[in-house]
Each structure stands twice: as structure tokens, then as C-alpha cells.
Structure 1
């Protein structure tokens, strides 16, 4: 048998090359025909197997290619407008009107019949007319999908008012609602009779999403991690642009709306709502209210708010009234067109009408040509309005929402170069329309009168007329981060959210988790004596992701309201202490120990300490580290009243003996010169006299009383000769120092009879 190296045939070479088969093959020739046939059969079987492998590999390559295309599509998904919801079918709102005049009073609420709509909806808004300015009616809505089982009543936020007409903010309801009811009640702040009429309910039919969009949305849900990475690339604050949530930019230029065709009938070359830019001074937080658990797509919800503001309210403003909107997942959406500092329409005070020559204000249309002065407080100027899709009267803001608000404010406050801890005066422009030639003094008087209508929580203000053409309302003491209710008569952003504002303010200082801390324990004394020193240890846990070095972090102590501490001791390096921890390094989840020396102030009383950790590099407060403690400071000379042996009633002819017992509860020993003084309520010496009476002094102790011991004063008394009820007030004095008896007054009442 002879063996040689035989080259492959062309077809064999091609298959072999594609599959990385051998480049050549050894074939042994044998004159035996049986061996030749066997080799041919083996070769044929090998080729069949190779072809099957090729088919499998080609299929796998095609599937991989399709997968890569799908992966790229999902990464680009948020930036493709057709996938963002912008191309979804928009359905125009439908409305119903209750024309009848309705009177609500302190004892009578109004509830409308149920109103049915052909289209299902998950959001609605309401407007109404009011005949006077006796406060504002509280308007509630509820919905149902069958007219039998109803949602809760949701109070609409009074969003805007212009003369007689009031507009509530859009509310969100359970999905697939078809029925709605209205309830009206008087203003709880000023419950007066109110007549309302022309109640207009606008529903926003649920968006019809095409099948292809549903499929794409379903696929997108499987790539949330990839989406999140793509969205947050390059920045920790991702703001979803208007184009992505589907803002129809034509609406900003629309001057006339054709409701029958649901389209703009006429446009202007310039925006209907011209942008005005002001330096940012305040951040005002809102909620939209309604059902927090509805299933409406946040982008659809924002488009509905946009339509309500841009097209419907007051004939359409031309844009959405918020600067930013945040959903329950913490996604941040761009609102009003124009960028940072553009004046929006989220907080209103006015316009009010001052009728010259009449008392008070009036809600009826202002007639400047008739001599009236129209006044509006421009609280949207220099403010950033942030609305959260949710109802914080029924829910508490979740961590995603709080983090999103804080990160957004942190970013925008840095851009505006303002301090989020500031409470500086806020100059609010006042927009005034008055008749030509009206004396400035009359206009100024009208503005001052309108100040009575400025409402808000603890709102303190005055006026600045330095430039008569640009009067200002100067509002005092408001923090940089406030809520709608701080500047207007409203419950917005909800009773549950309002207490969370302080947390938002602290979180906005440091919205990252790199530096975070949590108070763990304290051995500080609960009480100290005046001018005496003491100390304790505070332990705080590092809950952030970064280790602390001594040079990185310090503990600072303040008096109530972040004022300089009254407990500053000699070893303090700073009025706030600036104490370093004892450890060389504090890693995440480890405890930092701070030794704190204190020197009590010279006056007794209750004091409140505020503690917080700060980064030494930039003096910013570490999130979560703040806590407070109350401490009692006692006098060294301190006691308490124990008992009196004097009867509740005596006769004028009696000479009763009274024993008064006091306990020394202080730090110092009472000297033998300690005296008992007795006063009556007018501040003159007491009406009961003792044999040893000398002015106010009724008795002298005569012995030293140590801490914990009782002092007994025994007096032979002569009652006053005029029958009546007498009050005796007791004081103890050791030299020129009054002994604190634990309360502002120690006294007894005694009746004197004939």
C-alpha cells in the first residue's frame, strides 16, 4: 500500500476554509477497490456533517446580529422621539358644565350629580366662577368607572384666579374612569357664604397607544439597566427634555384654538408667553394631588398638564406653568421653555383689584379705565417651580422623589450661585395697572391695602417704593427652598410633605451618598449647674461610601436656630467647637467618637443644642448628621417647696403658727443667713405678719442646709383684720442670691374669717 499527500478538490477546499478544517488531507491509495469505496463513503458523510455545522453557525451569526441591532436600539430608545411617546395619538379633552348658581356656607356643602363621559380618563381639571372674594371655595373631585364604586375625594389645588374665574390644577384618578362628581365647601380659613357657578369639568381621555408602541415599550422594559446607564452617562442629574415627553412646540405660538378640530387655528411668529428671565432666588415645591397610585404614563400626565396650562386656562398661556416636573420614580422632566431663570406660572397672588374710593378689594373684573388699580404679586419671578406627580395629603414622598428634588435643587442652586441655607429678604416685583395720571401716592396706598390679601404660612413682608415704577414686596425670613403653601393660601404640597421640607433642605446641600452620617448615641449630661463645666461623648455612624480622616470632618455645636452656642468652653477652637473625632480613620459603617467639653451659661433654664458634622474642605453639612438635644441648666442655689402647716382658713383673732418646709435640691450649701420673704400679688409685703417681720423678710434660717437636706421656717403669724382670701408668695434668698424654687411662683391661698 502506498501513501501520498493529496490536495483537496475546490469544493472541499471552500468548505474546509469556511469551517477552519484541515488545509490538506492524507489519503492512502490502495489498489483494493473496497478500500476506495470506503474512503468515498467516509468523505461523503464528513461533508454532510460540515454542511449542517455551517447552517447552524450562519443562524447563530444572524441571531447575534439581530441582537446587537436590538441592543443599540434600546440604548438609543430614550432619544428616539417616536419611542418616547411624542408620536402617540393625542386625544383632546372633553368637558361638562354645571351652569346653575350654587351657594355653599359653613353648614352646607354642595355635591353634584354624577356626570358620565363617553371616553375613559385618568386625569381631569376644573374651573369655576365665584361672585365675591369671601375666601375661595374648596373644590373636590372623585371618579368612578361604573358610577357605583367611587374613588376618594381629592381636593383640587387653586392654581390660578383672574377676577371671577378660578382654575384648579389638574388631578389624576384611577385609570379607566368614566364618571365624575364635584363637591364644593367654604374656605376653611374664612368660612363665609360663597356662591359659585359655571363649574366646568375638563377630562383628558386616556391616550390610545398603537400596538407597535406597546410592543416597543414591552421590549424596552427588558433593558431598563441599559437605559439607566445610557441616561445617566456623564451626569448624576438626568433631565428629560421636552421633546422626549412629547411637548407640542406649536402650542407655544398658538393664538387661537379650534376645539372642534383639536388644533391650532392661528399662530404668531413669536411665542404667546414671551420669556422673562430673572435671577433665581427661591425654589417652590408643589404636588399635583389626586390619586398617587394611578397607572397613567408620567409623560402622558405631563402632556395633559401642558395642554391644561398652554391651551385651556384663561384661553391658554402658551406653555406649562412649572419649570420642572418629577414623577414617582424620581425622573426629572423639563417644564417651561426658556431654560434657567425663565419666569413660569406655578405660584399666584393676584391680580387683585382696588376700587379707589371704596373699602376693601373686589373679585369682579377690574376696570382701570374707571379708576381702579389692578395689583399682582409676581412670585414666579426669580423662582423655580418644581411639581411632583403625586398626592402628599395621602402619601409620603418616597426616597426617589426626595433625592430627585434635592439633586435638581443642588445643581440649579450652584448654577444660580445661591445658598440653599439662606433666609435673605426676597424682593418680589409688583405688577400694577392704574389709570393714566393717577397720583403715585394713591397707587402706593392701593398697593399697601392689597397687602392684606398676601397669604401664606407665617408670611412677613413690607414694601419698597424706592422706584415708584417698579414697586417691590420685600418678604422676610423665607428659606431658599419653600413650598406653595408658604406663599399662598393652599394645602399644596400636602400635609405629609410639608414636614419633609427640612430633610429636602439638608439633602440639597449634599445629595450624593459619598458623605452621609447618622447620630448613634450621646453621654452629654441632661442637666448642668450655671457656670459649671461638664463633658460627654457623642458617637456618629459613617453611613456614606467614603472613609473619614481627621482632617476631613468636624463636629459643630450651635444654639437653637444655628446661632452661636452658649456652652462654649475654654478648649473650644471655634465658636461652634469644630471637634475632631478620636479615631485615626472612620470607615463606612464605623462609629466616630467626639469628646465634647461644655461650660453652662450663667442663667438657669432649658437650652436646645443643635449638632451637625461638616466637611472641612468646603464647610458643607454632611447629610443625615444633624440632631438636637435639650439640656436643663440649674442654679447652684436651688430648692423646692415641700409643705405648709397653715390652715386653709383662719379667723382674724387667731395667731396661728406656720411651718414652711423647703428642700435644698441644688449644688451649693445654704448659709445660715438664708431668709424667707413673703409677698402679696401686688409686690408689697405679705398681709400676714410675723413677730420677726422686717419688710419682706419674715424669718431667718439660722443654720446651714446642705444639698439634699430640708430647711424649716417656723413663724407666729398675725392674720389681716379684713376678712377675705389672701395669697402669700414665698421666696428664699441667700445673701443677694435668690434661690430658684423650681417654678416661677411658690404660693398658698388662705381665707380669713371674722
Structure 2
């Protein structure tokens, strides 16, 4: 009897706690849920609609003849954040012929609040014709009005699809306002995405595909932003959840655009998913090699006649925020060897390593209050870096082989197969899987080309190049961005069928040209089997096959230039191609929209049809389109895919290097090969403008090879590094001559000197190189 009572008691307790746990989990899920709603106004027949055409009836005016005030609009639920979007034929944020105001109802109506354009509306990408406002954080309300003020009563452009997106992000973790600051040391606590309540499901599409695939580059610059908008610091976590939702869902980016965010209390928050080195979306086409840091709030109190992004009520840049910002810059500078006081070339300009968004974009962000504090932040961050012990010292690197998905693999001829290999990081150094710094698995013959990693010096050398990948020398990169000590790294190997029936291949783990890891060898047996071709239409099979016979797809383009492209494919299969089923797709990096897209494309992914209606067997399909290069100096990897009826039948990769429009050819150069010490030889250098831009303010500079003062600087120079400045118009094809003197160093030796040419802030490339390097022997 006692046994039965105990059994019933235990069973009752189990049921009770199970139900309680279920209720708790449901409540927890509910507590973190973001509610989103939208009001779209685009019908001119409905009262309160918003649609500017040739005129607006002045009968609708409520204040004066150029104003229109809407009826009260009600949301489906109380909200704490609101964004405004609209479409316009005029997408320039600097050319608006109207102003939009909002007010909100709580106990009473709030004052009218001017809607400001979002400074970061071109962070990751943007939809053509789509303009958005800064985020407006408000006290919970469900009622608001808008007011339209026309500049002259007659708008110049049509505006339609005015959308008010309102959010309730108040449900979620609350703030601990002491979590990031540690007063007695330089410790740094970063609030994780889980801690601020990120809903990770927003990063995926309905098929569980990653909306924004991770891409990694070594950070070299810090770009400062403000999030703008009002009341951002009243509930910082709710504000960040609102920004995250807006970026991820409303803009369809798939994540928040910043790497880090900082509130007025000094709390630091993790931004974009992916960890160190992840490429975020905070500065259009300047996101690689940068860390984007956003300060919650609006920090512009100066009127900017060229931009509408001013603050209604500027926030104060608090001491707590500045301390945390400087700590964050110092910590990441230590991790990635960045000099906070330094400067370097970035997309054709010499810029400090800590900059504002306005330095790389047409914006007032991060506001003058933050921008004016940057010189002090650079110095204070550098001081903190010194207190931390300076740049991170190289640590020992070591790897341990963990597993191989298969030691023998059968591959059909004309096809390929994929295997997975894993290594454990048993050293002290973090492994990187960045585009410009990564571990890789390759043919063991690499041991004849690079050294063994058996010392810190070799493991952390400055040689960042990687042997070029070829069919016989494959390079399989580390998956993901960072593998910390104790973690396991994964490498995926895609292998083609061997030429022989059976072939054994040996592989090893290496880290660029830093060296290969000892005892990381493994062998694979590849067996070729007959192709089961012609039974379906999958890639590489005989029914639908293609062969690229001609291509003008360039490996180089000048910035902001356009080029006509023609790709010709031969029908190498067993069936005719129909025009309506054949498409050429072009993507950038990890299936992103190409920055080279233009009006000749049928979609953001090109989807170009062939010129021919029917392409018979052995006939050719021609694809004509244009590429328009962005005004960004960088290498842009592209994937060109030929699809038939949605199936891939041909694919290859092509990198386009965008070159500066500022180019010069050295016509005359009398730099001496030798000079007596303390002598002042006269030098003449003539440059021909071989680019597409006109020069107006030409500056010649010279330094030592490491960027310090030149061994040959003369007292006649403008400063220690600037030789001369000539304010002259030099059109493409014209020449300009610099005549100046050098002062040879007093100590005999062979000294290098570097010369760089600029048009204002824009660097001019010399004979397709960034600089001219020469050596002069100083004699007695």
C-alpha cells in the first residue's frame, strides 16, 4: 500500500513539474517574442492616404496651405519602436522636396517629431527606390499621426507606398547597467546575442537557409556609427532587438548590420552573428576588413545643409560610453595588430585606422559629437593598448588529426565527391578561416615549398600569401571564421575523379605561407567508376552539358566604369536548348548580389537569357550584358552559373580587380642611384595621366619603406613627408612634372625611398602600383 502511495506521489510530482516546465518554456518563448505590424498608405482615394502626384488638394490641409495632417492612425497593439519607409523616383537622401513629421499619443499628444533619413540605409544593400527613416523609439503607444510639409506646395517627384512598421520589442532580457564596465582594470565584458534576446530564427529563410552567409576578413579599420533616432537608451536591449528586426526582416538582410553596439551606460553588445572577423553591413562596399561599432543614440547637433540626417534631440556622449568604446578598440587592436593612432590606404584613400562612417560614405554619421571625439579616442585607445601589454604576442600553433569521413571514395568519371576532415586545435593560437588569413588542407607536396610549423616565429610570420590553387594543387579552406584552442576545425574537400582507375592522394594541414603542421598528414584512396550519365538532368551529366568557348568577362575594371560583356557557351550535351529555359546567373562572394549589377540585368542575379531562340546540339548560345564597376578598389570574387530549367550545367569563378580611375605612367625619372652624403641632388619626375579622372590638386609624397620619414627628406619640402603640391588641371593624356631636391643622409649606406602621388585625398597609382620604390647608395 505504501509502495502504491509513493508511486502515485512520484507520478503526480513528475506530471506537475512537466506541466510547470512546459508553461515556463512557453512563457519564456512568449517573453522573447517580437511583435511586428505595418500600416501601408498608398491609395489616393482613401482618407488619410499618402500619395504625391501632380498636386495635393489644399482642402486636406490642417495647418497651412503646404501642410497635410493625417487622421489618427491606430496600430494593432502598443509599440515601442517605429520605422518609416517609402518609395520615390528620387532616391537621393539629399534632394527631398518634402518633410515628414510624427507625433504619438500617450496621456497627451507628444510634440511633432521630424522624421530623419537613416544614415546607414546603404549598409549591406538596399532595394532600388526604397528609402527608410531612422528608428523612432517611443513610450508604449498604439496611436499616432503624420504630417506632410511640402517645400513649395508642388512636389517634384511621386512618392508612394508609405509604410509605418511598428514593433513591440519590450519582451526580453532586461539590462544590467554595470555589466560592461570594470573600474579597476581594463577587463571587457561583451553582452552576447542570447543575453540581449536575439531571435536567431530571423537569420534563416523558411527552408532553413542562411539569409546572410558568413564571410570573414582580417579587421584593419574601426568604423564608428550612431544609430540615430530618439530615446534609444531608455531600454537599450529593446532598442537593439528593434534594430535587429528592422535589418534582418524589414530590409531582408538576415542579421543586424553592426559588429558591436554600445549604450549610454557603457554596455557593449555583440552585433552580427559569426564572431571575430565577420563581415557586417554598416558601410556600403566598405564592410570587409572593418569593425563597425554603433553608439546607441543620435549625436548630430550641427545643421548640415547637404544632408537631412540631423537629430531632433541630440544625445550626450557619456563618459561611460567613451570608456567602453576605447576599451573595445584597444582590445580588438591588440587581437588584430591594429595601431589606433595609425593610418593606411583603404580603397584608394589614406585614412586613419579609427574613422567615422562619413569618411567612407555620403552621410553625417556618426554625428559631429562622436566624430569630433575620435582624435581623443584614438589616443586613449592606444594608451589602453599599451597598458594591456601591446599587440598580442605570437603563440604556439599545433594541430591534432581527429577524423576523416572516408578513407576510400568512389567517384563517377566527370563528377566530383566531397569528404570531410577534422583537426583539433591543441595549440594556443586561434585558427582563422578568413578570406585573407586561413588554414587549409592541401597536397602534401606543400612541404617542399613552405617550412614546418615548429616555432612561434615560423607560425606567425608576416607571409600572408597562399600558394595558388590549381587542379593538381587544390586548397581547401577552414570552414567558419575562428577555431579557438581546444575546439575542432572542419575542412571540406571536393575531389574530382582520378585519371587512373585507382589513385592514392596525400594531404596535409597548412597555414598560408606560415608553414605546415607536422604530423597532420593523411591519405585518401580515390577510385574512378563508370559514369551513370544520361538518366537525369543533373549537373555534369550528358543530356544537358555546356562548354565555355569565349568570354570577355574581365579580370580587371576601372572604378565606376562600364563594360560590354559577351559569354558564349557550346551545347555539349544530347538535347537542344530552348531560350526560355536557359539563364546565366551571376553572384558575388557567398551568393550575394553583385556590386556590378546594372540595368542590362534581368534581375539582381543577372538571369540573362541567350540571344538565340533555339541552341541545337554543338551550336552556341550567346549572352550579352554589361558590368558596371563600383567606385571601390578591391577584388570581387564572382560565380558565373549557366542554368537550364533550373539545373546547373556549367559554373566557374572569376575575380574582378577594380582598379583606381587615378592612374599614372612615369615618363621621366632622374632619381639618383648614388649620391654623396649631405649632398642635395636635383630630381625631376614627370607623370602622365593614364586614368579616366582629371587631376586638380596633385601632391607628391616620399617616405622610408616602412612609412616613416625618408632618409632623403630636404628642408625645401612642404613637410617631413610631402615634397610638393601643384594646383593644376591635368586631364587624361596630359603630363605634370615635379622638380625638387633630395638631401642625402650623412651616413654612407644603401637606403630605400618610396614615392606616392595623390590627387587630393585620392591616391594615384604609378605604373599600376601604389608606389614607386627605389634605392640610392649614399657614398662618402
Q: TM-score, normalised by structure 2?
A: 0.34
Higher helix share: 1
Q: TM-score, normalised by structure 1?
A: 0.35
Larger radius of gyration: 1
